Amino acid sequence: MSQAEAAEVESPAPEARGARRRPPWILGAVAAGLVVLAIVLAYVRSGNTEVVSQAVVTGILVGGVYGLVAMGLTLIFGVLDIVNFAHGAFLTVALYITVVMVNRFGIYPMLALAVAVPVMFLLGAAVQRFVLAGAIGKPLENQLLITLGLALLIDNLLLLFFGPNPQSVKLPGDTAVPILGAVTTVSRLLAFGVALVLAALLYVLLRRTRLGTAIRAVAANDSGAQLVGIDTRRIYMTTFAIGTACAGAAGVLVAPLVTIEPTTGELFNIIAFVVVVLGGMGNVIGALVGGLLIGLTEQLGALLLPGQSPLLSIFIVFVLVLLFRPQGLFGKTS
Amino acid sequence: MRKHWIAGIALAAPLALAACGGSAPPGTPGAGGGGGGTAGSGQTIKIASLHPLSGSSAADGQQMDNGAKLAVEAVNNAGGIASMGGAKLELLSADSKGAPETGQSEGQRLIQEGAVAIVGTYQSAVSQNVAAVAERNKVPFVIDVSSADAILAQGYQYTFRLQPSGTVLAEGGAQYLSEVSTAAGKPAKKVAILHEQGPFGTAIKDVFTKKAQSLGMEVGPVASYDPAKVSDFTTQVTAVKASGADVLMVAGYYRDGVLVANAVNTVKPTLNAVWGVANGAFDLPQFAKEAGAAGEGFFDSNYHLDGKNPQTQALIKTYKDKYNDDIRTGAVLAYDAVRVIADSLNRAKSADPTTLRGAIAQTNLPSLVAQKGPITFSSTGENQGAFPILMQVQGGKIVQTYPKEFAETAYRYPATAAQ
C-alpha cells in the first residue's frame, strides 16, 4: 500500500503520467474500444463474419485458460516476490494426476480436482517450507535458480516414471457446441466456466476473509505485518500452497485440451508470465482479464497479420501496455 | 544455514539427473583413438547413437535410441562383423537434449571416446552441428532423421542421410495428392495450407506450393503457427472452411497435429481430405489412438517403415515385446543406420573411420523402410532410394495406401471425419 501511494505522490508531473491519473473507467473504455477496433479490422481483413466470430469466441475461451494458469502465478509473484519458473511443472504434475485418476480408476476428468487440488496444495506447502523458505530475502537469482532447478527435477522425474510417450485424457460426451455463430467444445466451455468460478473464489478469499487480509497485508509490507502480529512465515507457506493448488486446478481443467507429456507445462510458462505482468503483479482479477486480452490478441492477431507468429501480436500489445502502464492494467492492488 | 543446504540439493539434483541422462556408459579411460585398422577376434568396435533422450522430443529420441540398440544386438547375435573375426559392436548412447550446442559437444565427446561412426540426431539444427564435428574429425555420421536440405548442401564428405530430404518429401506429397484425387474422380482444386513456422514447415510449404501449382492446383489460404505455443486451431480451420478449399495440407509435429484433428472435428469443414506432408502426427499409431474418431481418414505422405517387408514385421514384433510400445519409423531408420554401418565395416574389413567412410559411400543395402530401391548414396550423401509413401488412418490404424507396390489396403478419397 505505502509503496503504491508513495509512487503516486512522487509522480506529480501530469503531462507525463497522464494515463495513470485518469479514472479507471476511461482505461476500461479505451481497452474495450481497442478490442472493438481490432474486431472491425479483422472483419475488414478477412471479409467473413463466421471467421471473426470464431476468432473472438476461441480467443475468450483460450484466454480463460491462460488466466486460470496465471492466477496462481500472480499470487505467488505478488506476495512472495518469487519468479516461479516451476509453475508450469506443477501444472504438469496435476496433468499426470488426472491421467492416473481417469485412465487407471476411470473417474470423470473434472472429479480429479478433488484429488489434484489438495495434493498440489500440500506439495506447494512442502516446497515452500523446505526448499524456498531459506531464499526469502536473498537475491532474486537464488530463488530463480531454485525454481528453475525444481522445474527440471519435476520434468525429469515425470519422464522417468511415466515415460516420454504422449498421453491423453478424454472428456466423455465432449462434442461440438455452437455458440454465437461459432463452434467450440464442451471441455473448453467447462474449463472456462470453472476458471471464472475459481477466480471469484480466490477474490472472495483475498477480500473477505482474515487469511486474505493477512495475505494482502504481507504483500503490502511484510515487516509492518510482522509488527501487528501476523506470522509471515506461515502466510508465505499458505500463499505458495494456494498458488500451487491453482496450478493443480488448471492442470485438471486443461487435461482434455492438451497432449500430455512431461514438458507440456512449459507451453504455459511464458504466456502465463506475460499475463501476470499485463494484469498487474499479484492481482487475481487482473490475471483473468489479462488472460482474456492475450487470448483475443492471439486469435485476432492471426487474422490481422496472417503468416506471422501469434506471439508477434501478443508482444506488440505487451510492449504497448508496459509503455503506458508499466505497473500493469490493474497495478497497485496486491 | 540448513536451508541453504537443502536448497543446494534441490538445485544439484536435477543437474545431476541431467548429467546422468547425458553420459550413458562412461567409456573405458584411455581407450580413445578409434580402434585402429587391425582386427582381431574379441575386439569391440564402438559406434555412437546421439538422440534427444530428454526434453520435448524425448518420445522420438528414446525410440530411435532403442532402434539403434536393437540393431547392435541383432548384429552381435548374428556373430558380429564376419570379415573382422566376429568383432562385436558396442553402442555409446548420448542425449542431445534437442539442443544444437549439446549435440555438438556430445558428438565431440563420443568421437574422443572412440566411436568410429555416429548415428543421429532427429532435429535438423542438431544434425547440422554434428555434421560439422564429424567432418572436422573425419568420422562418418549417418543421419537417420533430419529433413533440412541445407545439411548436405555444404559439400560434407563424412555425412550421409537415410530419410528423404525435405524437397523430396514435399514434391512427393503434391504429386500423390494430384494422382490420388484425380484417380478418385475428385481432382484437388484448392489446397489450404497450415504449417509450423520453423524452417521445416516453411520449407515443406514452399516446395509443396510450387509443385502443386505446376500440377494445376490453386493454393490458399496459407496460415502458419508456432508449434511450441499453439493451443487451438478452430479459427484457422474456420477460415479454411470459409475459403471453400477442398483439401487442407498440414506440415507440423505431433502435438499440433492432434489439435488440428480436434479442430477439424469441431468445425467440420467441407473437405475431401486432410493431407499431411511429412507430418509428425498423422502416421503415428499413437495419433490414431489419441485423436480417435477425429483423426479418422487423415492422410500423410511421408517416409515410413515398410509394413509389408517380413524383416520389418519381425522388428515391429521384437520392439513391441521388448519395450511394450509401437515402433515409430524413426526407430526403424536408426536400426537401418546401424545396419548400414555394420555392413560397411564388413566390407571395409577395418574400423578406421576414413576407410569406413569410403565403404559407406559404396553401400547397396535393402532397407526396412519403404523405398523405391536399396540404400545407395549420391555424391552429396543423400539416400537415393528414399521416397515418401502415402498412409491413411483407417479404423483407428495407420495403413499404407499408395503407391500400389506398398499399399496394404485401398485409400478412401474423399475421406474426412464426415463418416
Residue A101 is classified by DSSP as I
Q: Nearest chain A Cα to B291, which residue?
A: A168
Task: Please report the sign of the dihedral spanned by the C-alpha atoms of residue B216, residue B222, residue B225, residue B231.
Answer: negative
Per-residue DSSP letter, A16: T
Given a cut of 50, whether residue A137 has pLDDT beyond it is yes
Helix (H, G, I), strand (E, B) or coil at B299: strand
Please tell me the class of the B167-302+389-406 domain: alpha beta
Give alpha helix (H) positions in chain A.
Answer: 2-10, 18-21, 24-46, 49-80, 87-99, 105, 113-127, 140-162, 186-208, 210-220, 222-227, 232-254, 266-279, 284-304, 310-324
Single-letter amino acid, residue A308: Q
DSSP letter assigned to residue B401: E
The mean predicted confidence, pLDDT, of chain B is 87
CB nearest B226 (choices: A65, A166, A311): A311
pLDDT digits (tens, 9 = 90+) for B193-246: 999 888 888 889 999 999 999 999 999 789 888 887 788 898 889 989 988 899
Rounded to whole angstroms, the Cα distance separating B163 from B161 reads: 6
- Confidence tier at A34 by pLDDT (50, 70, 90): confident
State which amino acid sits at residue B97: K
Interface contact A168-B229, CB threshold 8 A: no
B378 lies within 8 A of chain A by CB: no
pLDDT category at B169 given cuts 50, 70, 90 is: very high
Q: Using CA atoms, how far apart are residues A260 and B141, in angstroms rounded to an integer?
A: 33
Average of pLDDT values for A18-34? 66
β-bridge pairing B159-161 and B141-143: parallel
Average pLDDT over residues A119-124: 95
Q: Which residues of B touch A133 (CB under 8 A)?
A: 3
Q: What does the pLDDT look like over A161-215, one tens digit per residue?
A: 998 888 888 888 788 888 888 888 888 898 899 888 988 898 899 889 999 999 8
User: Which residue is it, cell 479514472?
Assistant: A23
pLDDT tens-place string over residues B29-54: 333 344 444 444 568 999 999 999 98
Q: pLDDT tens for residues B108-148? A: 999 999 999 999 899 888 999 999 999 999 999 999 999 88
DSSP assignment letter at B283:
T
Q: Domain segments of chain B: what residues?
A: 32-164+309-361, 167-302+389-406
Residues of B in contact with A54 (CB under 8 A): 234-235, 238, 267
Which CATH architecture does the domain made up of B32-164+309-361 adopt?
A: 3-Layer(aba) Sandwich (3.40)
First to last CA, chain B: 66
**Helices assigned H by DSSP within B268-309:** 285-291
Coil, helix or strand for B182?
A: helix
- Residue in this structure with the C-alpha cell 532397407, named with its chain if needed: B367
- Cβ-based contacts of B3 with chain A (< 8 Å): 133-135
Instruction: Find the CB nearest B10 among A46, A149, A156.
Output: A149
Question: Residue B77: CB partners within 8 Å, gap ≥ 6?
Answer: none
Cβ–Cβ under 8 Å, residues B248 and B177: no
One-letter amino acid of B304: H
Is residue B372 classed as helix, strand or coil in its secondary structure? coil
Q: Are B301 and B370 in contact (CB under 8 A)?
A: no
Q: What percent of chain A has pLDDT over 90?
A: 25
How buried is residue B354: exposed, middle or buried, by Cβ count under 10 Å (0-12/13-18/19+)?
A: middle
Does the A51-324 domain belong in CATH 1.10.3470? yes
| Cα A315 to Cα A61, A111, A286, A307, B268, distances in angstroms | 20, 36, 18, 16, 32
